[in-house]
């Protein structure tokens, strides 16, 4: 589970962004999961995000993953592969 405190949040752009290396325990994952949970430290509520896109560069290296949540329409969770 990811705490919203670990994310850079833009209400205007409806995005939550984190670098993979900044996520607690990410090095133990070995890969990104098909779903991620984000917990609000203010309310304790949890939003479930489903993987929607794997972003790649010209060399076909993974640069990031994009997730979306049915509970938060229009919002994207972006994990940057640093």
* 72 DSSP β-pair partners: none
Show pLDDT as tens, one digit a residue, over the chain (82 residues): 888 999 999 999 999 999 988 886 655 555 567 888 999 989 999 999 999 999 999 999 999 999 999 999 999 999 998 8
pLDDT on residue 1: 82
Residue 20, phi then psi, degrees to nearest 5? -55, -40
Quote helix, strand, coil % in the chain, to nearest 5.
10, 45, 40
- Ordered by start, the domain boundaries in the chain are 2-80
- In the numeric block, the tokens 């990104």 are attached to 32
Angle at 27 between CA 42 and CA 63, to 5 degrees: 90
- pTM, full prediction: 0.86
| Cα(7)–Cα(2) distance, integer angstroms | 8
Q: For the chain, first and last CA: distance in Å?
A: 20
């Amino acid at each position: 589970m990811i705490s919203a405190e670990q994310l850079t949040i833009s209400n205007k752009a409806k995005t939550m962004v984190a670098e993979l290396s900044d996520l607690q325990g990410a090095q133990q994952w070995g890969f990104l999961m098909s779903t991620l949970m984000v917990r609000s430290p203010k309310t304790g509520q949890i939003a479930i995000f489903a993987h929607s896109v794997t972003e790649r560069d010209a060399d076909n290296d993974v640069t990031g993953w994009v997730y979306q949540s049915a509970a938060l329409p229009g919002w994207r969770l972006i994990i940057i592969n640093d």
